[in-house]
Structure 1
Amino acid sequence: MKKRWLLPIFASFMIFSSVNVNDAEAATYSELKTTATQYIGTPYKYGGTTVNGIDCSGFTSLVFSKFGISLPRTSKEQYQQGTSVSKNNLIPGDLVFFNTSGSGISHVGIYIGGGDFISATTSSGVAIDSISDPYYWGSRYVGAKRIGNFTKTQIVAEVKNASIDFSIYASRGEVALQLAEALGIDTTDTNSPFPDVKPTSKYAGAVTALNKLGIFTGDENGKFNPSSPITRGQVAKVLVEAFDLKLQGEAENFTDVKASHWAYEYVQILSSNEITNGKGDETFGLNDHVMIKHMDVFIDRLTQ
């Protein structure tokens, strides 16, 4: 039986339960920017909502959906959400609105810091611009709304159990249990080195054993985050490095995995080894949470 190694890839994306900024958990500025900028170059399409073509409100909805926030479909409707923010107090993650038509709110983007915002434009597709651009955006700026709190540093708190259905999606703790069982390793030591995995936790034995083998380590705060999900992009890297996979001939090209994305090579290798065929709509779903049934399929294919 081949060994399965799960490497330390622990981006803890926080899940938002509503568009009320006061109720939202937080994710980091870097997570927001990484998620938004991976779509740079996506062509503009009026009414579009996918990487094949997207408009401004479709883009903001897509990015925020990766953090569990559901936004209304149009820029005008999105302007009715959240809390108003002055231009001097903008932080990454704030939605910024413009009047480009001369008849009220007609464009929306996401502020990413440094005076810049990212949006789906009719001229360049998804692109980064200055919010104070004197030639266009500056004079058309209307205002901003804060939908969710993004912070400078990594969040310590875990995802709320109620925010995601772990009967469908794989948690990090469940992945640890699955790997420990498949490896047949001794899980009797429950003295976990992680403060958020107590000896009484059902994950303690598996997490401790995998940590001893160097398979699992904590995040920058030393936590394991057993109730956090893991994304398909992260799992692609995990599986490729775990099984020492190499590119095997031709791989499928997924429309949402740009060559510049950090996970591109891993997804290509996974595809070329016929471990994944994507989601069936020419996309891979980089930032989608991994479903339990898909994790089962991946491991089954790798151990055949």
Structure 2
Amino acid sequence: MQIRRLLLVLTLALSGIQATHADEPMQQMAMGMANSESPSSGDTGSDYVSAAEQLVDQALAYLGVRYRFGGTSPETGLDCSGLVLNVFRNAIGFDLPRTAAEMSRLGDKIGRQELKPGDLVFFNTMRRAFSHVGIYLGDGKFVHAPSTGGKVRVEALSSSYWSKRFNGARRLIDEDSGSTADSFAAIR
């Protein structure tokens, strides 16, 4: 199993491959990616690792779902924030606001160098801050629903397009408890 995860990470890193439903074996390998990028036990609690793994696994389950502007259903299509809200709801039972801009106000602001699996990454893709959101997977990769004609896919933060448009990141999972409750107290 470790070899399969390593092969996926290497494949993604070297070729920038984008998984789709037609690539079921690749998707199944990707499902285990969270375990290969888990924070060390000295850095965070096991609840955080578990919540992060659940988020990453859930996000990767949507690979290949078609993009649909305003979409909130995997059956009919997802937009970027629709993907993120589905992942958080289904993985850890938390309902997020509907838009990327609203999501950008939640949790703890973190720097690019501090990113961990499960963190939200934001981009300026429509000439306004926080107009696009994805979920960080680890190893410099994130999953997102790109744009009309696209499908949910994995991309590199370091690519020229995404690097230029990176707006910031937010951590919604409390590292000590794995809970989201404290992070959202300010907006309720």
Contact 2:123 2:166 in 1 (8 A): yes
Separation in 2 of the partners of 1:149 and 1:124? 32
CA root-mean-square deviation? 2.0
What whole-Å deviation, never above 9, does each CA across 1:141-198 have from its counterpart, x for those lacking one?
Answer: 00000011479xxx9x9xxxxxxxxxxxxxxxxxxxxxxxxxxxxxxxxxxxxxxxxx
Q: Aligned with 2:152: secondary structure?
A: strand
2:58 to 35, 45, 52: 35
Which residues in structure 2 correspond to 1:1-304 (within 5 Å)?
Answer: 26=48, 27-51=50-74, 52-66=76-90, 67-122=92-147, 123-134=149-160, 136-149=161-174
What whole-Å deviation, never above 9, does each CA across 1:187-216 have from its counterpart, x for those lacking one?
Answer: xxxxxxxxxxxxxxxxxxxxxxxxxxxxxx
Separation in 1 of the partners of 2:116 and 2:108? 13
The answer for unaligned runs of 5 or more in structure 1 is 1-24, 158-304
Deviation at 1:31, TM superposition (A): 2.6
Deviation at 1:34, TM superposition (A): 1.6
What whole-Å deviation, never above 9, does each CA across 1:231-251 have from its counterpart, x for those lacking one?
Answer: xxxxxxxxxxxxxxxxxxxxx
* Structure that is richer in helix per residue: 2
- Moved >4 Å (runs of 4+): none
Contact 2:53 2:117 in 1 (8 A): no
Separation in 2 of the partners of 1:103 and 1:29? 28
The answer for unaligned runs of 5 or more in structure 2 is 1-46, 179-188
- One-letter amino acid of the structure 2 residue matched with residue 128 of structure 1: V
Q: Aligned with 1:84: secondary structure?
A: strand
Separation in 1 of the partners of 2:111 and 2:135? 15
Question: What TM-score do the two structures reach when normalised by structure 2?
Answer: 0.63
Comparing both chains, which one has the higher relative contact order based on Cα–Cα distances under 8 Å and sequence gaps of 6 or more?
A: 2
Q: Which entry has the higher C-alpha Rg, 1 or 2?
A: 1
Contact 2:107 2:171 in 1 (8 A): yes
- One-letter amino acid of the structure 2 residue matched with residue 34 of structure 1: D
Question: What TM-score do the two structures reach when normalised by structure 1?
Answer: 0.40
Contact 2:52 2:117 in 1 (8 A): yes
Separation in 2 of the partners of 1:57 and 1:72? 9
Separation in 1 of the partners of 2:54 and 2:172? 16
Separation in 2 of the partners of 1:28 and 1:94? 11
Percent identity of the aligned residues? 39
What whole-Å deviation, never above 9, does each CA across 1:272-301 have from its counterpart, x for those lacking one?
Answer: xxxxxxxxxxxxxxxxxxxxxxxxxxxxxx
Q: Aligned with 2:118: secondary structure?
A: coil
Separation in 2 of the partners of 1:79 and 1:34? 22
Separation in 1 of the partners of 2:131 and 2:102? 10
Deviation at 1:124, TM superposition (A): 2.3
Q: How many residues align?
A: 128
